[in-house]
Structure 1
Amino acid sequence: MLDDNKTVFHLIEGDSDEQDLALTLAENLANDESIDMDEIAVLAQAEGIDPVTTDGEHSDRVESLVDDGISIKACSNTLDMFDIDNADLVAGVETVSSGVGELTRLQNDGYAYIRP
């Protein structure tokens, strides 16, 4: 049995409604007083990278989540694939070497995986 409550939300699709749902769920979990969350992360990769860019449709939501202490991560492979510079990311977004590697690490560290 795990002692820590940790969850990662996976942004991988380009559908704006699905991206909005994932961000809403992360926000709802952070605000849920019935569970003591230790860590919440959002990992963006592939077509799901848009919200973590400064000109992304949901960039304001991502900025708010960062301000609330939620860890937002962007896949470096995806950034390279779409020719996105680190300077184009919302302030506070962390880059990771690969999305799949980070998901593997997080799940091995006890994170629950949620993909809306």
Structure 2
Amino acid sequence: MGESPALVPGLVVHGSGPSPEAWLPAAMRTTLNAAADLGGGRAVELVVQGPAVALLATPGGPAAQLADLLAAGIGILACGNSLRSAGMTGEDLAAGVAVVPAAVGHLARRQWEGWAYIRI
């Protein structure tokens, strides 16, 4: 479920907030740019929380950009609590998107493991 710790701390990008149609595509681009700049030696994850999790299942929306992130080795993680609030399950998400039980817990663990944290 995206919870396995990496040997070398990586970068975790947290996307949350109102107007996900505006910020989620920007968060995806920023995460992809960060992964390219950091090179292959660091793991990179994008954790999506709140109403934006529904967009991870929308064909033709931001979900269309997922292939580029997954091809770059970026972990795409949806908050399980947010999915439940949206009446969804992990099976509703695009292929390659993993689910963490709670974004806040995952983000805390990553920071305790030494990961860099960016919120978009």
User: Normalising by structure 1, what TM-score?
Assistant: 0.84
Partners of 1:54 and 1:82 lie apart in 2 by 13
Residue of structure 1 aligned with 2:106, choices 102, 108, 112: 102
Q: 1:83 is aligned with what amino acid?
A: G
| Unpaired segments ≥5 residues, structure 1 | none
- The alpha carbon displacement at 1:14 in A equals 3.8
Q: Where in structure 1 do 4 or more consecutive aligned residues deviate above 4 Å?
A: none
- The alpha carbon displacement at 1:46 in A equals 0.9
| Unpaired segments ≥5 residues, structure 2 | 1-6
Residue of structure 2 aligned with 1:19, choices 24, 29, 33: 24
C-alpha offsets along residues 18-76 of structure 1, whole Å, 9 cap, x if unaligned?
A: 212211111101222xx344110000111231342243720011232112210111111
Partners of 1:41 and 1:106 lie apart in 2 by 10
User: Normalising by structure 2, what TM-score?
Assistant: 0.81
Q: 1:112 is aligned with what amino acid?
A: A
Q: 2:44 is aligned with what amino acid?
A: I
Residue of structure 2 aligned with 1:60, choices 48, 64, 68: 64
8 Å CA contact 1:54–1:88 kept in 2: the answer is no
Residue correspondences, number? 112
Residues 94 and 40 (structure 1 numbering): CA distance in 2 closer, same or farther, change over 3 Å? Answer: same
Q: 2:22 is aligned with what amino acid?
A: D
Matched, 1:43 2:27: no
Partners of 1:7 and 1:56 lie apart in 2 by 27
Aligned to 1:30: 35
8 Å CA contact 1:12–1:49 kept in 2: the answer is no
Partners of 1:87 and 1:49 lie apart in 2 by 12
Q: Secondary structure at the match of 2:17?
A: coil
